[in-house]
């Protein structure tokens, strides 16, 4: 499994929004500037996040985007599955119906299934909130940002 730029950027966008005032809509320009993502790519990723109900949008002068739910309700797995599709380590596990004609005799299939389950459990066990808390604990610069956010 290799996570694409789109998946990595989606996580950066979601964590960026999580660190802002949850009552305010955040402009794409400000996200693009902070995350150093092109506006065109940011718009495409936001369209996916919005269509999936991960973010809310508001048009107009004070418009922008904000998270639709609390930070603890978004898992890394759900965001990556939205942007990447399957996170399966091998093709034969990508879809619900196994189309491999060797699945009955495949000696390695149980190992791939176990790896797939471990990846899924790991990524579904980490929330955006977890990422923010971990970042604040490990980076003193982020603690100042968090302190400012708590006052909001």
pLDDT, tens only, 47-72: 999 999 999 999 999 899 999 999 99
101 domain-assigned: no
Residue 148 has pLDDT above 80, yes or no: no
Residue of 44 and 142 predicted with greater confidence: 44
11 domain-assigned: yes
Q: Which SS3 state, helix, strand or coil, does residue 70 take? A: coil
The CA distance from 13 to 34, in Å, is 10
22 domain-assigned: yes
Give me the residue label for tokens 């100042």: 144
CATH code at position 146: 1.10.10.10
20 domain-assigned: yes
The CA distance from 111 to 91, in Å, is 14
Best-predicted range by mean pLDDT (46-50, 90-94, 142-146): 46-50
Q: Percent of the chain, pLDDT > 90? A: 70
Instruction: Give the residue among 65, 13, 64 at the shortest CA–CA distance from 37.
Output: 13
Describe the crossing of helices 5-18 and 128-138 by its angle, rounded to 10 degrees: 80
18 domain-assigned: yes
Predicted model pTM = 0.85
Q: Residue 151 has what pLDDT? A: 35
Residue 142 has pLDDT above 70, yes or no: no
Q: Residue 29 has what pLDDT? A: 96
17 domain-assigned: yes
Give the chain's domain count. Answer: 1
Specify the length of the chain in residues: 152
Q: Which domain holds residue 141?
A: 5-87+128-150
59 domain-assigned: yes
73 domain-assigned: yes
Q: Residue 30 has what pLDDT? A: 97
- Give Dmax over CA atoms of the chain in angstroms: 61
Here the tokens at position 91 are: 């093709």
Q: Residue 86 has what pLDDT? A: 87
Q: Residue 152 has what pLDDT? A: 36
Q: Is the dihedral of CA 100, 101, 105, 107 positive or negative?
A: negative
């Amino acid at each position: 499994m290799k996570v694409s730029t789109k998946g990595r950027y989606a996580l950066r966008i979601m964590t960026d929004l999580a660190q802002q005032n949850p009552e305010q809509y955040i402009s794409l320009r400000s996200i693009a500037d902070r995350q150093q993502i092109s506006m065109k790519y940011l718009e495409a990723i936001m369209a996916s996040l919005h269509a999936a109900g991960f973010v809310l949008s508001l048009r107009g002068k004070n418009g922008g985007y904000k998270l639709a739910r609390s930070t603890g309700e978004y898992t890394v797995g759900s965001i990556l599955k939205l942007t990447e599709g399957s996170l399966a380590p091998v093709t034969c596990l990508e879809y619900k119906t196994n189309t491999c004609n060797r699945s009955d005799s495949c000696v390695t299939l149980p190992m791939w299934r176990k790896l797939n389950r471990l990846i899924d459990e790991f990524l579904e066990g980490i929330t955006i909130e977890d990422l923010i808390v971990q970042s604040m604990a490990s980076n003193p610069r982020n603690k100042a940002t968090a302190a400012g956010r708590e006052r909001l």
